[in-house]
Amino acid sequence: MPDAPARDGADPRFAALPGRPGKVVAVHVGYASRADQRGRRPAHPSYFLKPSSSVAPSGGTVERPAGTELLAFEGEIALVVGTTAHRVRADRAWEHVAWVTAANDLGVYDLRAADRGSNLRSKGRDGFTPLGPALLDARTVDPGGLRLRTWVNGELRQDDTTRGLLFPLAAVVADLSQHLTLEPGDVVLTGTPAGASVLVPGDVVEVEVDAPDVLGSPTTGRLVTTVVQGEHPFDATLGALPTVDDMQRADAWGSRAAAGLAPEPERFHLTDDLRDRLARAPVAGLCAQLRKRGLDAVTVDGVAPLHPGARMVGTARTLRLVPGREDLFARHGGGYNAQKRAFDTLGEGEVLVIEARGETGAGTLGDVLALRARERGAAGVVTDGAVRDREAVAAVGLPVFATAAHPAVVGRRHVPWDVDVAVACGGTTVEPGDVVVGDADGVVVIPPGLVGEVVDAALAQEEEDAWVAEQVAAGHAVEGLFPMGPAWRARYEAWRAGR
């Protein structure tokens, strides 16, 4: 084992390490099993920093902060840097790692919204990075043959090896070294596999890293942490407060089922053929067919496309904005709020429909969010509010239907409140999964169960109207032709049969 510097005996938090680390760097998503569980695989590793004050030894306790419910564990392999690494090659990077140990990258999902990406409040608290209890000599183990296991109250919850990593350990070290200098004693947390979930006070979580393929199966031993309930509430006058929704609960627990939530309703799927037919059907024609079936309140009134020739077909995702109120915006509007979550989770072929109550005194999206929607493959955005950065949004090329333009940000008039709920947009109700079609005439909403028959009828009517227009252009009077009487109907059917 490499010679370790004298340990900081005055501070028991760093008892498992050579000393206090200068920095703790963590990988957001490191394992294929975790990425697949969340439905998204990153092409490259991304990182965040944890303060060294969050480090804790084995055998200690960790507080679930007062007023929170989603304290989650993440068993991880931690690398301890032995020699300075700056712009090192991947094939030499492991030489700069001195030790391997077990880690628990604890975090509170209730505090993620305000610091999305940085994770400062959610993962930087005292005691949120237990490490140890023993160090494995990195020279004696294969970085591709390490095993990670996590138990909660004696039940095995995580069991994976470094063969399941998206990014090899040495590649992570090399990548980090091209952006910042890794110094002796620094710690790198390498991501967690599937199985991470929520802890409650009284739970005991144990993490172990070993090398089962090495003679003697060297191990770190079990890193043990007990959860206790915090007693000190957050001061509402100082900053963002804990906030949770069902999306956060599902993320923290690992699934909606594990969180005790009802499964997501089955969403209607537009086939390529149906999408193509809808793209050829004019909104006016679709409206006419819906009216024949007793549905008149199906148009999103007052909106127009930023590009007059834009056409849009997709299934609805929804975002609800409530009237602006300063205290509510402080709790719901900052950071990674419902507006950003909606754009960040749009799927291919989906249309985001935004309820803005017809309020045009602030933008409901700008060019950055429009670009995000386009890159996600979204089919468009509909808002009965305003667009900010109108020219830049138009330049993105995404079909956007709005009522106005306004330079102010969303918080001037709105609080982003909820996603994937029924919303009121432009005088009509839109449910997630409804089919949304837009063209120069406006936007129509079609219940999924009627889409097939409505679009077929609209296309048939379009063909008929085109034939009628030809007759009028040829000099025929509209009487008896528009609408068709029996004689013209017979001539039209004969024309169709003879094509």
Q: DSSP state, 80?
A: E
Residues of the chain with pLDDT > 90, as a percent, come to: 78
Asked if residue 261 is part of any domain, the answer here is: no
342 neighbors 437 (Cβ within 8 angstroms): no
pLDDT band, residue 40 (cuts 50/70/90): confident
Query: Which residue in the block uniquely carries the two structure tokens 């960790």?
Result: 62
> Which has the minimum average pLDDT: 383-397, 422-436, 471-485?
471-485
pLDDT band, residue 2 (cuts 50/70/90): low
Q: Say what the pLDDT of residue 8 is.
A: 46
Mean predicted confidence (pLDDT) in 81-104: 97
Does the annotation place 49 within a ligand binding site? no
Full 3-state SS string of 386-412: EECCHHHHHHHCCCEEECEECCCCHHH
Q: Say what the pLDDT of residue 7 is.
A: 54
Domain total in the chain: 3
Residues in the chain: 499
Q: Say what the pLDDT of residue 465 is.
A: 87
Are 218 and 362 within one domain? no
Q: Say what the pLDDT of residue 324 is.
A: 92
CA nearest 285: which of 434, 446, 486, 491? 446
Q: Is the pLDDT of residue 175 over 80?
A: yes
Are 234 and 291 within one domain? no
What residues have CB less than 8 Å from 331, skipping those under 6 apart? 240, 241, 243
What is the C-alpha separation between 382 and 398, in angstroms, rounded? 11
What is the C-alpha separation between 330 and 343, in angstroms, rounded? 20
Residue type, 174: A
Are 135 and 282 within one domain? no
What is the C-alpha separation between 303 and 287, in angstroms, rounded? 15
Q: Say what the pLDDT of residue 166 is.
A: 94
For residue 120, with 0-12 CB atoms within 10 Å meaning exposed, 13-18 middle and 19 or more buried, which class applies? middle
Are 230 and 329 within one domain? no
* pLDDT higher at 331 or 79: 79
What is the C-alpha separation between 101 and 131, in angstroms, rounded? 7
Q: Say what the pLDDT of residue 4 is.
A: 54
Q: What dihedral angle (degrees, nearest 10) is formed by the CA atoms of 308, 310, 316, 317?
A: -80
Are 313 and 209 within one domain? no
Mean predicted confidence (pLDDT) in 157-179: 96
* pLDDT higher at 333 or 129: 129
DSSP string, 346-362: PPTTEEEEEE-TT--SS
CA nearest 424: which of 359, 360, 355? 355
Does the annotation place 368 within a ligand binding site? yes
Does the annotation place 367 within a ligand binding site? yes
Are 220 and 303 within one domain? no
What is the C-alpha separation between 30 and 165, in angstroms, rounded? 6
Q: Is the pLDDT of residue 94 over 80?
A: yes
Q: Is the pLDDT of residue 239 over 60?
A: yes
The mean of the pLDDT values for the chain is: 92
Are 96 and 236 within one domain? yes
Does the annotation place 126 within a ligand binding site? no
93 neighbors 79 (Cβ within 8 angstroms): no
Mean predicted confidence (pLDDT) in 235-251: 85
Residue 399 half-sphere exposure, CB side, CA atoms within 13 Å? 26
Asked if residue 335 is part of any domain, the answer here is: yes
Q: Say what the pLDDT of residue 322 is.
A: 95
CA nearest 382: which of 445, 334, 333? 445
Domain boundary among 253, 282, 302: 253
Q: DSSP state, 39?
A: T
Q: Is the pLDDT of residue 1 over 70?
A: no
Residue type, 255: S
CATH number at residue 395: 3.50.30.40
What residues have CB less than 8 Å from 69, skipping those under 6 apart? 110, 198, 244
Q: Is the pLDDT of residue 9 over 60?
A: no
Q: Is the pLDDT of residue 100 over 80?
A: yes
Dihedral pair phi/psi, residue 425, rounded to 5°:
-135, 120
Q: How far is CA 196 from CA 39, 50, 146, 149, 156, in A?
A: 15, 19, 18, 11, 11
Are 246 and 292 within one domain? no
pLDDT in tens, 278-304: 999 999 999 999 999 999 999 999 999
61 neighbors 225 (Cβ within 8 angstroms): yes
CATH number at residue 235: 3.90.850.10
Asked if residue 323 is part of any domain, the answer here is: yes
Residue 238, both tokens: 């100082």
383 neighbors 356 (Cβ within 8 angstroms): yes
Are 104 and 23 within one domain? yes
Asked if residue 265 is part of any domain, the answer here is: no
438 neighbors 312 (Cβ within 8 angstroms): yes
- End-to-end Cα distance, the chain: 86
Does the annotation place 366 within a ligand binding site? yes
Asked if residue 89 is part of any domain, the answer here is: yes
Domain that holds residue 305: 272-452
Asked if residue 259 is part of any domain, the answer here is: no
Are 85 and 115 within one domain? yes
Does the annotation place 353 within a ligand binding site? no
Q: Say what the pLDDT of residue 401 is.
A: 97
Asked if residue 47 is part of any domain, the answer here is: yes
Asked if residue 493 is part of any domain, the answer here is: yes
pLDDT band, residue 333 (cuts 50/70/90): confident
Residue 212 half-sphere exposure, CB side, CA atoms within 13 Å? 10
Q: Is the pLDDT of residue 6 over 90?
A: no
* pLDDT higher at 200 or 262: 200
What is the C-alpha separation between 50 and 66, in angstroms, rounded? 21
Mean predicted confidence (pLDDT) in 301-317: 94
Region of residue 433 (phi > 0: left; psi between -120 and 50: alpha; otherwise: beta): left
**How many Cβ atoms sit within 10 Å of the Cβ of residue 341?**
20
What is the C-alpha separation between 385 and 397, in angstroms, rounded? 19
What is the C-alpha separation between 183 and 18, in angstroms, rounded? 12
pTM of the model: 0.65
DSSP string, 453-480: HHHHHHHHHHHHHHHHHHHHHTT--STT
Mean predicted confidence (pLDDT) in 415-431: 95
Region of residue 466 (phi > 0: left; psi between -120 and 50: alpha; otherwise: beta): alpha
What is the C-alpha separation between 370 and 452, in angstroms, rounded? 30
Q: Is the pLDDT of residue 66 over 80?
A: yes
What is the C-alpha separation between 334 and 322, in angstroms, rounded? 14
Mean predicted confidence (pLDDT) in 238-256: 87
Are 146 and 37 within one domain? yes
Are 73 and 103 within one domain? yes
